[in-house]
Amino acid sequence: MAVTVLYIFVYIIEAIILGWYCNHLFNPKYSKKVECLFIAMGYACLFFISLAMIFYINIALFVLINFILIFFLYDAKWHSALFNALTLTCIMTLSEVVILQLKSLISIDFLYSDSHIVYLCVVALLCKITYFIMLRLIVIFMHGSKERNDSFSIPTALLNVIPLISLYIISTLVAIILSKNMPGHFKYMLFSCTFLLLGINILIFYIYHYTIDKSSESTQLQIQLQKEYDMTEYYKSLFNQNENQQILIHDIKNHLQTINRLNDENNREKISRYLESLLNSSDLKDSVHVSDNEVLNSILCHYMKICRDKHISFKVDIRKKLLQNLKYEELTSLFCNLLDNAVEACSDIPDSNIEMSVSFEPNSSLTVINIINTCRVVPTFDKNGRPVTTKKGSKNHGFGVKSINRVIDRYNGNIKMYFDESKMAFHTIITIKES
């Protein structure tokens, strides 16, 4: 009876460890109650099946049930769920082999008491502690981040072979350990092999997740670059529109000369109608010159319109002959991402404002870009002084900041962000070297 209670306790610990582990690497699909219920049901099945004491069946079902739980309860693709289930099985089994080997190498006399249950309790506890420590190391390697598992490739899928081979080797090790005729020095060799096998599985796990993470990041970066390219083309088209506006203005001058002649003919009614329609033209209203850089001017005109629609005060002060060395796509990456963040922070805030200035720092070759925007939510900053996103699925955000940093790095620049609580304003100061 005591042994059965111990086995139940062991499976409860394993279920808790699984839930802890999965919540660190995956986003749950359901509520905590549903998650706990299905994990409990899964491990209850494992417990009853384990009573048959058939090693290979226990291993196979441990992999299968863990795979089902990870795949259906968490936001994980099938290949990721399978790999994690196999790796969990390997690490758990190897941790048990390590403890059994260590027990055979070290004499622990107090365990061999009249009650065998003491021995079993200590061994079981050491096994689960080792199991948890190994998984904890994995989570530390992953920096406690949620896995991005939307990427799939044949090489990453083939990594599943490693834990499968490891399980076969483990079964062989167990058979050897259980044999009675084993030389003493061979025990040390067997222990080192077991420990190395455990390390290999953890290393493979890390490589697998690192590959997926980098693949996902590369995909997101490509999407961001494509977005910036499209934005660049858009603002180029705006520039062309501005050129058309200039042509229109030129034509209007000619029309005004005609109007002048009509005025000499005293045709005032016709002149009045024409002037009214001309002055109310949207082309003339939106044609604003805030920068001598054509693309930047188009970008700023676009955001002026956005701010006007959102009732955000937008003030711009850009000194002449600055930012001339930046390419069109660099201007787009830098200012669109900066202003997107500023507009988002100001949205739905009464009397919000954005102030932007671009100036030249005296006695140096530095161009200073300063943006101040209203912000009602006090941001938190990471160790690099960058604001931490509060958006859902934060792993898929932050590429705008990376684009800004990429442009700044090209020009040996620097960026500083801070929040002024007294004025509830977020400050972004960028310095770049144009020469």
Query: At which of 223, 251, 283 does a domain end?
Result: 223
Do the domain assignments include residue 285?
no
Do the domain assignments include residue 343?
yes
Question: Hey, which of 104-113, 200-209, 236-245, 306-315 has the most confident mean pLDDT?
Answer: 306-315
**Ramachandran assignment for 403, one of left (phi > 0), alpha (psi -120 to 50 degrees), beta (any other):** alpha
**327 and 426, same structural domain?**
yes
**142 and 40, same structural domain?**
yes
**191 and 337, same structural domain?**
no
Which range has the worst mean pLDDT, 89-93, 100-104, 295-299, 412-416?
Answer: 100-104
Query: At which of 198, 223, 248 does a domain end?
Result: 223
Question: Hey, which of 39-48, 71-80, 208-217, 220-229 has the most confident mean pLDDT?
Answer: 39-48
pLDDT computed for residue 114 by the predictor: 45
**298 and 217, same structural domain?**
no
Beta bridge partners of 374: 425
Do the domain assignments include residue 410?
yes
pLDDT computed for residue 236 by the predictor: 62
**302 and 176, same structural domain?**
no
Question: Hey, which of 28-42, 199-213, 352-366, 400-414 has the most confident mean pLDDT?
Answer: 28-42
**295 and 216, same structural domain?**
no
CATH number assigned to the domain comprising residue 377: 3.30.565.10
Q: Which residue has the higher pLDDT, 302 or 218?
A: 302
Per-position DSSP letters for 37-58, written without gaps between them: HHHHHHHHHHHHHHTT--HHHH
Q: Which residue has the higher pLDDT, 405 or 120?
A: 405
Do the domain assignments include residue 278?
no
Is the pLDDT reported for residue 208 higher than 80?
A: no
**217 and 301, same structural domain?**
no
Placement of tokens 């196979």 in the chain:
60
Q: How many domains does the structure of the chain reveal?
A: 2
**300 and 198, same structural domain?**
no
Do the domain assignments include residue 203?
yes
**212 and 337, same structural domain?**
no
**Model confidence band, residue 83 (pLDDT cutoffs 50, 70, 90):** confident
**β-strands 425-433, 353-360: how paired?**
unpaired
Query: At which of 204, 223, 242 does a domain end?
Result: 223
Do the domain assignments include residue 72?
yes
**217 and 313, same structural domain?**
no
Looking at the chain, the whole-number percentage of residues with pLDDT higher than 90 is: 9
pLDDT computed for residue 3 by the predictor: 75
pLDDT tens-digit map of 363-401 = 777 889 999 999 888 888 777 677 776 555 444 445 577
Reduced 3-state DSSP string for 77-97: CHHHHHHHHHHHHHHHHHHHH
**Model confidence band, residue 41 (pLDDT cutoffs 50, 70, 90):** very high
**Model confidence band, residue 426 (pLDDT cutoffs 50, 70, 90):** very high
**191 and 314, same structural domain?**
no
**Model confidence band, residue 68 (pLDDT cutoffs 50, 70, 90):** very high
pLDDT computed for residue 390 by the predictor: 58
Q: What is the distance between the alpha carbons of residues 82 and 161, in angstroms, rounded to a whole number?
A: 11
Do the domain assignments include residue 228?
no
Q: In the predicted model, what is the mean pLDDT of residues 158-167?
A: 67
> Contacts for 403-410 with beta carbons within 8 Å, 24 or more apart?
403/224, 403/225, 403/228, 403/333, 403/334, 403/337, 404/333, 404/334, 404/337, 404/338, 404/430, 406/333, 407/326, 407/330, 407/333, 407/334, 407/432, 408/334, 408/432, 410/330
Tell me which residue of 117, 84, 98, 103 sits closest to 17, measured CA to CA. Answer: 84
Which range has the worst mean pLDDT, 3-12, 152-161, 201-210, 298-307?
Answer: 152-161
Rounded mean pLDDT of the chain? 75
Do the domain assignments include residue 332?
yes
pLDDT computed for residue 113 by the predictor: 46
pLDDT computed for residue 237 by the predictor: 57
**161 and 40, same structural domain?**
yes
pLDDT computed for residue 37 by the predictor: 92
> Rg of the chain's alpha carbons, rounded to an integer?
33
pLDDT computed for residue 396 by the predictor: 42
Q: For residue 87, what are the domain limits?
A: 2-223
**Model confidence band, residue 110 (pLDDT cutoffs 50, 70, 90):** very low
- Half-sphere CA count of 19, side-chain side, radius 13 A: 20
| Phi, psi torsion values for 264, nearest 5 degrees | -65, -25
pLDDT computed for residue 107 by the predictor: 52
Q: What is the distance between the alpha carbons of residues 258 and 271, in angstroms, rounded to a whole number?
A: 10
